[in-house]
């Protein structure tokens, strides 16, 4: 799980965020830990009980009839093609940027060379090969990130001297080294302030997204675990490693780049060039080779997962479900290989036209904004139906694409060259960043799906009963079902979730404070984090009421 979310673009995007706004801007994805912990304590065991090959397979377990079939097919195509093309595009974009800066390779050659390299083993090895290579690639990728962070600190003679020089840099602002944004001052608009952005991140974005119940490839790995306990432990470890451990080497290098390269306005790839430029400045041939290999490892671990995940959608949820239900396994394997090649070509083409990686991140979030509550409620509330989910996703997609078209038109009208996810759209004189889009997309989506749910009929009772008997989710289901089959009370999940939140953020900021000059305060945060983590795991073990494994 951690290897998959550690891609070649990730250090570059983190560098872009830190250089533009400061360390606090990582709350754009730090806030997702709140949703990730929902995946740990609410959903990891439920996904394992569902015994599905893909998360889309759950759709026809939970919903019924043609609307369920249409939703399953649409989501499979949407995530396998459009979503995957964009994600793979920014990952390939990141790897090609590193190759072009460090090796002087033409960007187009770098894009297609990296794509072809990963395609070969992804197409031939399948899921097992992806998992095995992910394991080793993560070790190499993380080792390279730590190596560069150490070289950056040594270059300045220690973390203290580095921070002193950052504070005198032309690129330094009052929020550059802060973990939280400062209060707005002066006569600027509150809606344009860092504090407003932070409040939207922690107040809206984590529960509104399409990853609120785990997210596609994370769900696939939950489902592949040995049992429910392994599923919960694996997902918990993923969140610890993802948020508390791996971010800080990247942040160190991003901060160092502010001193070494105060302005990258003239660089073809902008602020994200800070990371590879630090690599070329500080590394000799041997260490540079290790760093490039680590980037390749991070790149390949992510691309191989997305290829395999997308192929499983096209095969399991489209071809096997709608095209040919009784083909041989050999034919299914060849179909999945062709699907893998198709997605690789689409991702590489997207990479050649992509502008900002950080903007692409924001676009992907916006496409699924508003559907998060539906993905949560479909487990715990009987009234949610297929039309609920269809309307939530369709409204988010429609508004997001509309805003992106507006941005393209405004770019062309201004006589500027258009790049995919380049400039933000402007509405009523305000450039719409992701935090502003959240206040447009999420209310529209939620209002849409609530009205649709009220106006449409619930799923048939027998279908809902079969779903409940299979998964035992608890929540707002008929009382006789809950009394008969039992389930862990939602209050227990909520308490475990709160303890998990304290653990993740205590560990994340404890380590961060120890690195960035407040050692003793950081050290004080770690024991409460460890205690809350231990307590949450103990409580979760005690509430594992599921007894059947078949």
Concatenated DSSP letters of 248-292: HHHHHHHHHHHHH-S--TTSTTGGGGHHHHHHHHH--HHHHHHHH
Residue 50 and residue 216: Cα distance in Å, rounded?
14
| Of residues 73, 52, 70, the one with CA closest to residue 387 | 70
Q: What is the pLDDT along the chain (550 residues), one digit of tens a residue?
A: 888 888 777 888 899 899 989 999 999 889 999 999 999 999 998 999 998 988 999 999 999 999 999 999 999 999 998 888 888 887 887 788 788 778 888 777 877 887 888 888 788 877 777 788 888 888 888 999 999 999 999 999 999 999 999 999 888 888 999 999 988 776 667 877 888 999 999 999 889 888 888 888 888 888 888 888 889 999 999 999 999 989 999 999 999 999 999 888 888 778 888 998 999 999 988 999 998 888 888 888 888 888 988 999 999 999 999 999 999 999 999 999 999 998 888 888 887 776 666 667 677 788 888 899 999 999 999 999 999 999 999 999 999 889 888 888 888 888 877 666 667 788 777 778 888 888 999 999 999 999 999 999 999 999 999 999 898 888 898 888 877 766 678 888 899 999 999 999 999 999 999 998 789 999 999 999 999 999 998 888 776 544 444 3
Domain ranges of the chain: 9-177+189-456, 488-550
For residue 420, list its beta bridge partners.
354
Residue found by looking up tokens 């072809």 in the block: 116
Tell me, yes or no, if the pTM score tops 0.75.
Answer: yes
CB 148 within 8 A of CB 253: yes
Torsion from C-alpha of 316, 318, 324, 326, nearest 10 degrees = 20
Residue 94 and residue 8: Cα distance in Å, rounded?
5
Second CATH level (architecture) for the domain 9-177+189-456: Up-down Bundle (1.20)
Return the axis-axis angle of helices 434-455 and 386-413, rounded to nearest 10°: 150
With H, G, I as helix, E, B as strand and everything else as coil, classify residue 431: strand
């Amino acid at each position: 799980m951690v290897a998959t979310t550690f891609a070649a673009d990730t250090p570059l995007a983190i560098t872009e965020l830190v250089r533009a706004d400061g360390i606090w801007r990582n709350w754009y994805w730090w806030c997702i830990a709140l949703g990730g912990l929902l995946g740990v304590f609410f959903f990891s065991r439920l996904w394992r009980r569902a015994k599905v090959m893909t998360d889309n397979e759950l759709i026809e377990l939970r919903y019924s009839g043609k609307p369920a079939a249409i939703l399953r097919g649409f989501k499979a195509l949407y995530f396998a093609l459009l979503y995957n093309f964009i994600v793979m595009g920014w990952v390939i974009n990141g790897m090609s940027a590193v190759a072009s800066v460090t090796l002087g390779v033409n960007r187009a050659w770098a894009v297609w060379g990296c794509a072809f390299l990963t395609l070969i083993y992804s197409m031939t090895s399948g899921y097992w090969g992806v998992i095995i290579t992910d394991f080793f690639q993560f070790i190499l990728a993380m080792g390279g990130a730590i190596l560069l962070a150490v070289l950056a600190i040594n270059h300045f003679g220690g973390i203290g001297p580095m921070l002193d020089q950052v504070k005198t840099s032309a690129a330094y602002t009052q929020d550059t080294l802060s973990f939280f944004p400062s209060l707005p001052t002066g006569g600027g608009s509150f809606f344009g302030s860092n504090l407003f952005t932070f409040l939207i991140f922690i107040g809206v974005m984590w529960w509104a997204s399409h990853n609120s119940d785990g997210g596609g490839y994370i769900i696939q790995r939950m489902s592949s675990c040995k049992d429910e306990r392994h599923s919960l432990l694996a997902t918990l470890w993923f969140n610890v490693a993802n948020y508390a451990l791996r971010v800080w080497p990247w942040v160190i290098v991003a901060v160092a780049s502010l001193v070494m390269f105060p302005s990258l306005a003239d660089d073809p790839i902008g602020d994200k060039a800070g990371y590879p430029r630090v690599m070329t400045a500080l590394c000799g041939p041997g260490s540079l080779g290790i760093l490039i290999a680590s980037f390749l490892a991070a790149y390949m671990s992510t691309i191989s997962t997305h290829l395999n995940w997308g192929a499983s959608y096209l095969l399991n949820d489209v071809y096997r479900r709608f095209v040919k239900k009784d083909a041989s396994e050999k034919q299914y394997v060849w179909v999945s290989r062709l699907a893998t090649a198709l997605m690789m070509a689409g991702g590489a083409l997207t990479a050649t036209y992509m502008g900002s990686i950080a903007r692409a991140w924001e676009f992907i979030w916006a496409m699924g904004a508003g559907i998060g509550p539906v993905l949560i409620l479909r487990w715990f509330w009987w009234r949610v139906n297929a039309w609920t989910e269809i309307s939530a996703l369709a409204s988010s997609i429609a508004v997001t694409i509309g805003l992106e078209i507006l941005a393209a038109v405004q770019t062309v009208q201004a006589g500027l060259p258009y790049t995919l996810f380049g400039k933000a759209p402007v509405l009523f004189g305000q450039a719409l960043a992701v935090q502003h889009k959240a206040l447009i997309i999420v209310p529209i989506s939620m209002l849409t799906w609530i009205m649709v749910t009220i106006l449409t009929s619930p799923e048939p009772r027998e279908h809902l009963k079969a779903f409940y008997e299979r998964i035992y989710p608890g929540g707002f289901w008929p009382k006789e079902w809950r009394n008969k089959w039992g389930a862990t009370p939602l209050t227990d999940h909520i308490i475990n979730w709160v303890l998990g939140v304290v653990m993740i953020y205590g560990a994340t900021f404890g380590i961060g404070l120890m690195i960035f000059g407040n050692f003793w305060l950081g050290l004080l945060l770690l024991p409460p984090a460890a205690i809350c983590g231990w307590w949450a795991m103990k409580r979760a073990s005690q509430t594992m009421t599921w007894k059947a494994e078949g």
